């Protein structure tokens, strides 16, 4: 199963970390009334995710805002501490919300959870979702080991 247009974002509590500590992140409340692009990556600090995927969204952040996006979210099956450290490493500042799906429950509910072998286990498939008022309006899911349709450039060209 993959995320599909018209699918509602699952209501769950995930976590984010900032300088003040770890906070709960209520998905239903966050996505309500907003236009958000959320991209998922197999893992923090992994090569394609760090060299291409996050930089793509940083480079095109202003264009995404001009296209009407209220927020940019990066989802990964990692804990909030790792996502925060990766955000610092990638210098995302307040441009990208680094969302931790530590048990892959959110990814599972979205249809993104995939087993990627014994080394990294169950992770989120690489993708980008356009979400308007809590409903997926565009879904760009990558084939395994591919990075093409989930870039910020592709999202901007296809919304």
DSSP output for 132-155: ETTEEEEEEEPPTT--STTSHHHH
13-157 has CATH 1.10.10.60 classification:
no
Q: Note the pLDDT tens digit of each residue in 136-157.
A: 999 999 988 889 999 999 999 9
pTM of the model: 0.95
Residue 49 known to be catalytic = yes
Of these residues, 49, 104, 128, 136, which one is catalytic? 49
Across the range 37-61, mean pLDDT stands at 94
Across the range 25-30, mean pLDDT stands at 97
Cα 152 to Cα 104: distance, rounded to the nearest angstrom: 23
Q: Note the pLDDT tens digit of each residue in 97-135.
A: 999 999 999 999 999 987 777 777 678 999 999 999 999
Q: Where are the domains of the chain?
A: 13-157
């Amino acid at each position: 199963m993959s995320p599909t247009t018209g699918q509602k974002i699952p209501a769950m509590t995930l976590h984010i970390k900032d300088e003040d500590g770890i906070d709960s992140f209520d998905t239903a409340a966050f996505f309500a009334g907003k236009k958000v692009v959320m991209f998922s990556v197999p893992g923090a600090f992994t090569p394609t995710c760090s060299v291409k995927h996050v930089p793509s969204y940083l480079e095109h952040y202003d264009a995404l805002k001009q296209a009407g996006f209220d927020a940019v979210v990066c989802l990964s099956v990692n804990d909030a501490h790792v996502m925060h450290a990766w955000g610092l490493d990638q210098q995302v500042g307040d441009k990208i919300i680094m969302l931790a799906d530590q048990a892959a429950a959110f990814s599972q509910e979205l249809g993104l959870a995939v087993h990627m072998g014994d080394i990294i286990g169950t992770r989120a498939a690489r993708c980008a979702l356009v979400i308007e008022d809590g409903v997926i309006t565009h879904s760009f899911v990558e084939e395994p080991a591919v990075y093409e349709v989930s870039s910020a450039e592709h999202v901007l060209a296809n919304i």
